[in-house]
Amino acid sequence: MVPAQPAVTAPPATLAEPAPASARQPAVAATPQSVGVDTSTPTDVAGLGRLRAVGFIAPALVLIGVFLVFPALWTLYIGATNFRLTGVAARTPDFVGLDNYRRALSDPSFYRSLWLTLLFVFGSAVIGQNGLGFVFAWGLRGARRWVRRTAESLVLLAWILPSSVVAFLWIALLERDDGTLNELLGRAPGVPWLVRYPMLGIIVFNIWRGTAFSMMLYSAALSAVPPSHLETARLAGSSTAQTLRDVVLPHIRRYALSNTLLITLWTFNDFSPFLLTAGGPNHGSETTPVYIYNTAIVGGQMGYSGAISLLVLLINLLLALVYLRAARTSRRLSGG
């Protein structure tokens, strides 16, 4: 969740309800934002001077250094050793150079986990949360205030409950014997949903869980669409599809981009599927974060999983750069 944070700079200050986003962010995370703003200003508006400005942000930088940069370098180091959780290699790990990386790049399990992660991200975040979030936001736009509030609260509830609690509820729902869903369907030998459809299970779970964020963001974005434009479109007799495409979309393009990147990164690194399936059956839902955990903690191969973690970091970085580039293009297009 933290990694995507700096990207929050993208949605302008018109965000009506920034509160939910901040619930996922530690206080430290505010810093990169201000850094971005400061340095993009050509003159020293605040009159602080370079030295004092540095002093101002130093505490935050120290925190970032201790909690973010240092662990990253540490991971880089671990990834270059044969460090294990137990055994001789736990006491005296050897330096193995790039062996772990070579192994990871020829490891079918790693590629399988990347593929499953891709499915998971695409299905649950890019399509699922994005789409459903927008549908909710659009659908509730004109609803009565209490209907809207009630619906939003329910969606939010799915988001703010602790993962462990939610996972337990979902297991109870999807359990083969005496699971709620099987009882409702009246299946005598119940369907083991999470065993038979593990990926579908965690995708639906994650849509249910994370739609709130997209909904909040889109309802804020939709309030930025000038009502006069919508009215004009209506008078011109445009269909809903046409209105969405030609009037709404241009206004919310940047929100959509920010939202997609945020939820992509969150979902990419999401560990909660583990609580439902533990990566099973037979690695059938072992997304990359789960694969890293299973390799490191269950398999005890700390060094190897350190190497995979670093590869994942690079992939995250790549996603973020794609976003930054897209954000820049979109800003240029919208004249910002």
Partner 1 sequence: MQRSIGVRALALIAGLVVVAGTSAGCLGKSSTSNSVTSKNADAKEFTLTIAANAISGGKNATGADWVTNWVIPQFVAAQKAKGRTATVKFQPSGAADEDYKSKIALDLRSGSGADIYALDGIWVGEFADAGYIKPLDDLVGADKVSAWDGWAQVPQSVQANMSYNGKRYGVPNGTDGRVLYFNKKLFAQAGLPADWQPKSWDDILAAGQSLKSLPGVTPIQLNAGTAMGEATTMQGALPLLVGTGQQIWANGKWQGNTQAMRDVLTLYQKIYKGGLGDPVLQEDAKGRDESFQEFAAGKIGILLESDYFWRSVVEPTKGIAKMADRNQVVGWAKIPAMKPKGGIRGQDFVSMSGGAGNVINPATKYPQQAWELLQFMNSKDATIARLGGAAQITQRQDVNSQVLAGDPMLTFISQQVLPLTAFRPGFAVYPQVSQALQQATLDVVSGKSPADAAAAYQQTVAGLVGGTDKVASG
Nearest in space to 132 (alpha carbons), one of 163, 164, 158, 113: 158
Task: Please identify which residue in 23, 62, 88, 249 interacts with partner 1, judged by CB under 8 A.
Answer: 88
Interface region with partner 1, contact rule CB under 8 A, candidates 46-54, 210-218, 219-227, 290-298: 290-298
Site for partner 1 in 304-323 (CB under 8 A): 305-306, 309-310, 312-313, 316-317, 320-321
CB distance 63 to 83 below 8 Å: no
For partner 1, the closer CB: 125 or 292: 292
DSSP 244-286: IIIIIHHHHHHHHHHHHHHHHHHHHT--THHHHHTT-STTTT-
Under rule CB under 8 A, residue 21 binds partner 1: no
Q: Residue 276 Cβ, how far from partner 1 at the closest point, in Å?
A: 8
- Contact assessment for residue 235 and residue 152, using Cβ atoms and an 8 Å cutoff: no
Could you tell me which stretch among 32-40, 145-153, 214-222, 242-250 binds partner 1 (CB under 8 A)?
A: 32-40
Give the footprint of partner 1 on residues 191-210 (CB under 8 A). Answer: 192, 194-196
The residues near 306 (Cβ < 8 Å, ≥ 6 apart) are 75, 76, 77, 78, 79, 80, 81, 83, 100, 296
Q: How far is the CB of 72 from partner 1 (least distance, A)?
A: 3
Please state, in angstroms and rounded to a whole number, the distance separating the CA atoms of residues 179 and 191: 9
Query: For partner 1, how many residues bind (rule: CB under 8 A)?
Result: 69
Q: What would the DSSP string read from start to end of 72-125?
A: HHHHHHHTTB---SSSHHHHSPPB-TTHHHHHHHT-HHHHHHHHHHHHHIIIII
Task: Pull the structure tokens for residue 69.
Answer: 């940069």
- The interface mask with partner 1, positions 251-280, x = CB under 8 A, is --------------x---x-------xx-x
CB 273 within 8 A of CB 54: no
Of residues 151-190, those binding partner 1 (CB under 8 A):
176-177, 189
Residue with tokens 């329910």: 154
| Residue from 47, 87, 162, 227 in contact with partner 1 (CB under 8 A) | 87
> Where in 217-256 is the site for partner 1 (CB under 8 A)?
none
Tokens matching residue 175: 């359990």
Binds partner 1 (CB under 8 A): choice among 215, 221, 248, 292: 292
Among 16, 48, 58, 69, binds partner 1 (CB under 8 A): 69
Residue among 43, 86, 228, 239 that touches partner 1 (CB under 8 A): 86
Q: What angle do CA 201, 190, 163 make, to 5 degrees?
A: 35
Q: In Å, how far are 17, 110, 155, 294 from 25, measured between CA atoms?
A: 15, 29, 20, 27
Q: Which residues bind partner 1 (CB under 8 A)?
A: 2-7, 9, 29, 31-32, 35-36, 39-40, 64, 67-69, 71-72, 74-75, 77-78, 81, 83-88, 90-93, 176-177, 189, 192, 194-196, 265, 269, 277-278, 280-282, 289, 292, 296-300, 302, 305-306, 309-310, 312-313, 316-317, 320-321, 324, 328
